[in-house]
């Protein structure tokens, strides 16, 4: 009976200015998933974590992805999945995307690599739809492709893998709740053309910086004039952490996805670690528990740890 | 007495989706400018063309650039400039930018290359300000840097030279007047966030396509959901020309700058030439005179033809 074990990384969507189009895989935190092909057509999901996520396949992010794969490919086989989740749901670090992308990529390996990358993204988006009501790929894409990805369009799926700058990422997850739906509703539906022009100047600069490996250009481009000023209100200590991180030498950073996690990029490990300390103490000051992660940008996304025939 | 002769190319601003930030130098049409350093501090401008542009330095695009250089550098010398203009004013092909950038780059050579590229752009923008009331650099930058340029910001000046894809450009200038100020006023000041997201997905895709030399990606990204639907109304035969050009094999294209010129990109010379023919006949049909130019993207911008000590 074929089975595999995979490591599925957290991801940072938006990358400051690239709202809804850019995403980046990191190394820490990550989920582990064990997937097994079953002779019978049933789908079994088990969580070893204590986040209380539903295990009924049609209500589980990984389950719904597998149900769709099974149905679309008219499989007579099923899947058993054990999820060891370490990326906390609601953190803004791509927890649902990890389960969704892990299910799609894991199933594809068990089935003998019959799906293209775009097809894996297509199926994984059913998981995002279940989790947030929106078929979006900005966290799924970096899970599957690795590095930094551009979702030029999610319908039709058009994903451009960019590059993996040699940078450290510090991410902090304060234990406050920001619902993705609230973070989306708070945004203005109408924006000024002149602000949009400034935003796409930064987006173009960021994409050019990533592809030319021009670190200072990346830094100059990490500015969000549209989303961050609105959403950061929902995140305690955001301004303090951002200001102090830049003073400590961060290249730039902002809200991870729709928050509440905050991420910062840095060239040196020592800088990333000093940012981790200042993040931690900013939340200690106001008695909010937080989890801090330091790792590099992850060039390969989901990693196969073990594969048995 | 030191003098030089330079060839200053036409430029295509916006490049469909990159409103106010992208620009591209082409080979045809181009202006010729002869610049001479004078012992006395006067500035003399002469036009050999018949466009009726003012020759008084403070009212002339090249003149105002030279006045600012002279004043800022506290020069005791002056300049004589003879302009042979072939890029028609009001064409949307960067006619004023050519005079402005030619004056700045030409003066810099005569002065012994004392200005940086950014400083040349800075001074040239005085010419654009005179011509259109706005200090913008999207046509000036490709004149000075060549190829395709990104104006990430014009204040402070932050210009990123991108690349020169190996493509042909067909541009048509129909003899109708579209004032830059009208083309700007017709735009909505407020736009939908969701349209902006689609636009910056295309911008990011176009920049990535240019830098990765991915021609199909460039083609898929040449879509403007915000500006073209509004401005194209001012340009007769726009939809017919765009549709037929795509049918003839164009990679994509749209309004050049604020119009009325239209440009199309193509991989093969024969395609570019067949597009030229269909553009010409679209305007013949409705008895509007037009000028059509076929050339490649110009990698080097302004070219020095002759330099005398």
ipTM for the assembly? 0.95
* B191 and A CB contact within 8 Å: yes
* A230 and B CB contact within 8 Å: no
**pLDDT score of B58:** 97
Residue B308, Cβ neighbours under 10 Å: how many? 9
**Beta pairing class for B157-161 and B148-154:** antiparallel
Q: Is the confidence at residue B33, as pLDDT, over 80?
A: yes
Contacts of A187 in chain B (CB under 8 A): 193
pLDDT band at B242 (very low <50, low <70, confident <90, very high): very high
pLDDT digits (tens, 9 = 90+) for B139-180: 999 999 999 999 999 999 999 999 999 999 999 999 998 877
A12/B197 Cα distance (integer angstroms): 18
Q: Is the confidence at residue A185, as pLDDT, over 90?
A: no
Min Cα distance A190 → chain B (Å) is 5
Min Cα distance A68 → chain B (Å) is 27
**pLDDT score of B103:** 98
* B180 classed as catalytic: yes
* A162 and B CB contact within 8 Å: yes
pLDDT band at A93 (very low <50, low <70, confident <90, very high): very high
- Asked if B206 and B22 touch (Cβ cutoff 8 Å), the reply is yes
The helix/strand/coil state of B255 is: strand
Mutation target vs B (from A137, A160, A162; most B CBs, 10 A cutoff):
A160
Q: Calculate the alpha carbon distances from A234 to A184, A215, A228, A239, A267 in Å.
A: 12, 30, 10, 11, 28
pLDDT digits (tens, 9 = 90+) for A195-251: 999 999 999 999 999 999 999 999 999 999 999 999 999 999 999 999 999 999 999
Which residue bears the tokens 């000051």? A285
**pLDDT score of B178:** 80
Is A116 known as a binding-site position? no
Q: Is the confidence at residue A106, as pLDDT, over 80?
A: yes
Instruction: For each of the domains in chain B, give its residue range(s) and CATH number, in order of start.
Output: 3-162+298-308 (3.30.230.10), 168-296 (3.30.70.890)
Instruction: Give the lowest-confidence range in A1-10, A146-155, B25-34, B267-276.
Output: A1-10
**Burial group, residue B187, by CB count within 10 angstroms (0-12, 13-18, 19+):** middle
**pLDDT score of A177:** 84
Residue A186, Cβ neighbours under 10 Å: how many? 14
**pLDDT score of A181:** 75
**pLDDT score of B308:** 83
Nearest Cα residue to A7 out of A26, A32, A25? A32
Query: Which of A190, A192, A207 faces B204 most closely, judged by CB atoms?
Result: A207
**pLDDT score of B309:** 72
pLDDT digits (tens, 9 = 90+) for B99-127: 999 999 999 999 999 999 999 999 999 99
**pLDDT score of B213:** 97
- Asked if A262 and A235 touch (Cβ cutoff 8 Å), the reply is yes
- Asked if A218 and A251 touch (Cβ cutoff 8 Å), the reply is yes
Contacts of B200 in chain A (CB under 8 A): 18-19, 21, 196, 199-200, 203
Q: Where are the beta strands (DSSP E) in chain A?
A: 3-13, 22-38, 43-47, 78-84, 148-154, 157-161, 168-174, 190-192, 252-255, 262-266, 290-296, 303-308
Percentage of chain B beyond pLDDT 70 is: 100
**pLDDT score of B1:** 54
Exposure of A215 in the CB half-sphere (CA atoms within 13 A): 12
* B22 and A CB contact within 8 Å: yes
* A180 classed as catalytic: yes
* B199 and A CB contact within 8 Å: yes
Q: Is the confidence at residue B249, as pLDDT, over 70?
A: yes
Contacts of A190 in chain B (CB under 8 A): 190-193
Mean pLDDT computed over A120-127: 98
pLDDT band at A192 (very low <50, low <70, confident <90, very high): very high
pLDDT digits (tens, 9 = 90+) for B250-277: 999 999 999 999 999 999 999 999 999 9
Q: Calculate the alpha carbon distances from A127 to A139, B202, B205 in Å.
A: 11, 26, 26
Percentage of chain A beyond pLDDT 70 is: 100
B148/B264 Cα distance (integer angstroms): 15
Look over chain B and give the mean of its residue pLDDT values, rounded to a whole number. Answer: 96
Query: Which of B153, B162, B197 faces A201 most closely, judged by CB atoms?
Result: B153
Helix or strand run (H / E) with residue A107: helix A95-110
Q: Is the confidence at residue A1, as pLDDT, over 90?
A: no
Mean pLDDT computed over B198-218: 98
Exposure of B195 in the CB half-sphere (CA atoms within 13 A): 18
State whether A193 and B226 contact (CB < 8 Å). Answer: yes
pLDDT digits (tens, 9 = 90+) for A5-64: 999 999 999 999 999 999 999 999 999 999 999 999 999 999 999 999 999 999 999 999
**pLDDT score of A122:** 98
């Amino acid at each position: 009976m074929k089975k595999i074990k995979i490591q599925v990384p957290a991801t940072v969507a938006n990358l400051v200015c690239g709202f809804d189009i850019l995403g980046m895989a990191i190394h820490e935190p990550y989920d582990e998933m064990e997937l097994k092909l079953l002779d019978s057509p049933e789908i079994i999901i088990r969580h070893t974590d204590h986040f209380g996520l539903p295990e009924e396949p049609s209500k589980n992010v990984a389950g719904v992805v597998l149900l769709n794969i099974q149905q679309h490919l008219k499989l007579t086989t099923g899947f058993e999945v054990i999820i060891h989740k370490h990326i906390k749901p609601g953190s803004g670090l791509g927890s649902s995307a990890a389960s969704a992308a892990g299910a799609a990529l894991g199933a594809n390996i068990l089935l003998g690599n019959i799906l293209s990358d775009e097809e894996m993204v297509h199926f994984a988006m059913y998981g995002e739809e279940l989790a947030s009501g929106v078929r979006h790929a900005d966290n799924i894409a970096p899970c599957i492709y690795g590095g930094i990805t551009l979702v030029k369009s999610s319908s039709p799926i058009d994903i451009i893998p960019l590059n993996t700058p040699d940078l450290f990422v510090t991410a902090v997850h304060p234990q406050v709740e920001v619902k993705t739906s609230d973070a989306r509703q708070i945004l203005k539906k109408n924006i000024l053309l002149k602000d949009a022009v400034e935003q796409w100047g930064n987006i173009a600069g960021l994409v050019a910086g990533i592809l030319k490996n021009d670190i200072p250009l990346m830094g100059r481009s990490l500015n969000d004039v549209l989303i961050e000023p609105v959403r950061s209100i929902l995140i305690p200590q955001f301004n303090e952490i951002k200001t102090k991180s830049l003073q400590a030498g961060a290249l730039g950073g902002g809200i991870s996805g729709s928050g509440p996690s905050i991420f910062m990029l840095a060239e040196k490990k020592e800088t990333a670690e000093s940012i981790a300390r200042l993040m931690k103490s900013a939340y200690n000051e106001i008695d909010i528990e937080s989890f801090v992660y330091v790792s590099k940008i992850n060039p390969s996304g989901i990693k196969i740890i073990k594969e048995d025939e």
